[in-house]
Amino acid sequence: MSFGFTVSKSWKGEPLRKGATKFVETSLKRVAEATVEKARELCPKRYGYLAASINLQGKGYHSEYSELDNPSVYAMDIEPENRADFVKEFTKVEKPSEYNVVNIGTNLTYSWAVEYGSVGHFISIKNKKVLSDWVTIYGTRVWNKGHSAQPFMRPALDWTYENFRQIIRDKAMMDFPGKENL
């Protein structure tokens, strides 16, 4: 008794190839979405802007706007009325130039300082006479003591790496119901 298979020229493999390609593309998007969710969960939250700004871009798809893009969903503190409104809108991360690549991140200017921390430094005035928060006048130069790193993107990437198989398995379950033994 023998076991095997034969592939002939008349084999219609195109539908299988298209289906597999679509599965890979949607799985990649699902993995990217899971990474964004984890990064939003892990990132420090004060007024919620950083968490809400984390997004993904792939060639042919991108983060869709949802209620999770609203900073108030993540806010832990009430934003003071005198706080400068420096975040007008969230810009998307750069779209990759090729398929099967996804960029995940945030374009907020302070995100790198949160991820890696910052050392103490002076903040000098720019186009103003004094630095103020509308309550206290600080002068023309202020010492910022810096802060320790609060990583969120790297731990999210590490989590994705550790849970990659389960994310793909869950995606397969959605696409192929009844295939619990994958």
Residue 11 is predicted with a pLDDT of 55
Same domain, 141 and 164: no
Q: Which domain holds residue 160?
A: 152-182
Number of domains in the chain: 2
**Whether the Cβ atoms of residue 77 and residue 47 lie closer than 8 Å to each other:** yes
Residue 2 is predicted with a pLDDT of 43
Residue 181 is predicted with a pLDDT of 54
Residue 39 is predicted with a pLDDT of 94
**How confident is the chain (182 residues) per 10-residue block, as mean pLDDT?**
48 72 80 92 90 86 70 77 64 82 88 92 82 77 90 94 87 66 52
Q: What's the pTM?
A: 0.73
Same domain, 94 and 170: no
Query: What is residue 19's three-state secondary structure?
Result: helix
Residue 101 is predicted with a pLDDT of 84
Same domain, 111 and 170: no
Q: Which two tokens stand for residue 129?
A: 């006479």
Residue 68 is predicted with a pLDDT of 67
CA terminus-to-terminus distance, the chain: 28
Residue 29 is predicted with a pLDDT of 85
Same domain, 102 and 125: yes
Same domain, 81 and 164: no
Same domain, 52 and 101: yes
Q: What are phi and psi of 124, to 5 degrees?
A: -105, 160
Same domain, 89 and 146: yes
Residue 155 is predicted with a pLDDT of 95
| Count of alpha carbons within 13 angstroms of residue 12, beta-carbon side | 1
Same domain, 177 and 127: no
**How many angstroms separate the CA atoms of 20 and 113, rounded?**
41
**Whether the Cβ atoms of residue 78 and residue 111 lie closer than 8 Å to each other:** no
Instruction: Assess if residue 164 is contained within a domain.
Output: yes
